[in-house]
Amino acid sequence: MSVNKVMVIGAGQMGSGIAQVFAQAGFEVKLNDIADESLNKGYARIEKLLSRNVEKERMTEQEKESALKQISTTTKLEDASDCDLVIEAVVENMDVKTKVFKQLDDITPKHAILATNTSSLPITDIAAVTNRPSQVIGMHFMNPVPVMKLVEIIRAIQTSDETYQLIEETTKKLNKNPVEVNDYPGFVSNRVLMPMINEAIYTVYEGVAEPEAVDEVMKLGMNHPMGPLQLADFIGLDTCLYIMEILHEGFGDSKYRPCPLLRKYVSAGWLGKKSGRGFYVYE
């Protein structure tokens, strides 16, 4: 089996980015969302990024138009009926995701692989709601998708070797670097990253240093391209809190306890860059 037709469910920043890289690699892509408005925004985001690549001479106008022609939009999940691979990139909520996977299990061909872009939820639990658990896998793309090379490929306990190998090969066709990871809370990326961000928040909470100082130490002393608090603002403080809660619940270890200051900022609506204020203020 080979992957030719792909559906990406969710036209937000992650979903549109995933659709873009598949289209640029020559795959036929269906971008799905529940609302036309979301689809239009997602498609416009792709068009804008590709146009910027043309301006910076990273691609030609012809390559841009060729990529855009590979993408169609739809609000109908039933249009996945002829797809070889479906990648779900909806809200990070287990109830929503399992509902989508149950529907996809009925709609898609028997050979189709069902993937989730979840950053922290258990793939094993998602696979269990389908009648094809061996064909369910995690494909955790990094943000921004068109730029970042890493894709964490997460194997549920049920995922077959054949499914993993096909997804690994497909990921390489996207000019991405696949890394195999087993299904544990936070996988590798967020299990390592989020406690670091949480600890950085604790240093502010406890009065050790101001946010600017914490970020400078990590940038200049540890050679990080972005400080942990600036990165948290970029990710979204609500997302950081949610992942810390999953780690705390999943491992039952107090070292994953979310910092009270993180909870307070989220309660205040200070979610980072997307809300205009987090550890920094954004215009």
Active site amino acids? 119, 140, 152, 190
Q: Assess whether the previous peptide bond of 144 is cis (omega < 30° from 0).
A: yes
* DSSP letter, residue 142: P
Distance between CA atoms of residues 127 and 37, nearest Å: 30
DSSP sequence for 237-269: HHHHHHHHHHHHHHH--GGGPPPHHHHHHHHTT
What is the distance of C-alpha 168 from the center of its chain?
Answer: 17
Nearest to 135 by CA among 121, 156, 106, 107: 156
Query: Sign of the C-alpha dihedral, residues 273, 277, 280, 282?
Result: positive
